[in-house]
Each structure stands twice: as C-alpha cells, then as structure tokens.
C-alpha cells in the first residue's frame, strides 16, 4: 500500500486486502485502548494517533513486504531487547508477517509513548 490517498482511517481500512485486515484491526484496537484522548487520523498517507492539535506520534502502514509500525526512536530504543529478531529502524518496526507481532509488547510501547506524549502536551 505504501502511501494511501484515503482521507479517513475507515477508508484506508476499506482498501486493505482481507488477509491483512485482522492484523490491522488488532493494531487499531491496541492504539485506541492505549492512547486514550488522542486523535485517530490520516497523516502522511497512513493511519496514526497523536495528541489533539499535534502531529501523529504513532502510525502504521501496509508496505509491500512488511507491516510498518512507526513508534518513534525512543520507543524502539526502550523496547529493543524485546524486539530481538525483528527488523527495526530508527523509529520504525518492520514485521515481515503478522505472526511476528507480539501485541503485549505493542501495548506496552503504546502505554510508554502515551505517558511521554501527555507530558509534552
């Protein structure tokens, strides 16, 4: 999918292939549960979440060969040990398949990001 022209997150989800939908539904649910008070919106061609009036702090996307979860450099550094064996960039976690995603770790990262984000607002 790379960069979408969808204007809403629901529209982005409508464009997903059926096999990918369950994984992204789980990511969306985790974000909604852990990022209380943050806005869900399309930004940079992908779904994301951020404090009201600020850019997204968390995003995800369906790439050609992986599932991209943009958590930011601080979260990736803090959780690097728990992400052993997963392809990580400076602020992005690239899952080759949905089976690699440990949603307990994702939830912990989101709680950490949310706690840090509240203090910046």
Domain positions in the chain: 9-120
Task: For the sheet with 67-70, list strands across it.
Answer: 39-43, 46-50, 58-62, 67-70, 92-95, 87-88
Q: Does the domain at residues 9-120 carry the CATH identifier 3.90.1150.200?
A: yes
Per the listing, tokens 């994984």 go with: 23
Least Cα distance to 88 among 97, 8, 79 occurs for: 79
> pTM of the prediction?
0.90
- pLDDT tens string 24-51: 999 999 999 999 999 999 999 999 999 9
Rounded CA gap, 61 and 46, in Å? 6
- pLDDT tens string 69-111: 999 999 999 999 999 999 999 999 999 999 999 999 999 999 9
């Amino acid at each position: 999918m790379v960069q979408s022209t969808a204007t809403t997150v629901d529209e982005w989800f409508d464009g997903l292939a059926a096999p990918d939908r369950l994984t992204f539904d789980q990511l969306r649910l985790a974000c909604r549960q852990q990022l209380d008070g943050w806005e869900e919106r399309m930004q940079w061609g992908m779904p994301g979440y951020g404090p009201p009036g600020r850019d997204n702090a968390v995003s995800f996307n369906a790439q050609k060969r992986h599932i991209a979860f943009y958590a930011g450099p601080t979260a990736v550094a803090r959780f690097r040990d728990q992400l052993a064996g997963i392809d990580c960039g400076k602020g992005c976690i690239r899952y080759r398949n949905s089976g690699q995603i440990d949603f307990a770790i994702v939830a912990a990262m989101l709680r950490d990001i949310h706690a840090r984000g509240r203090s910046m607002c």
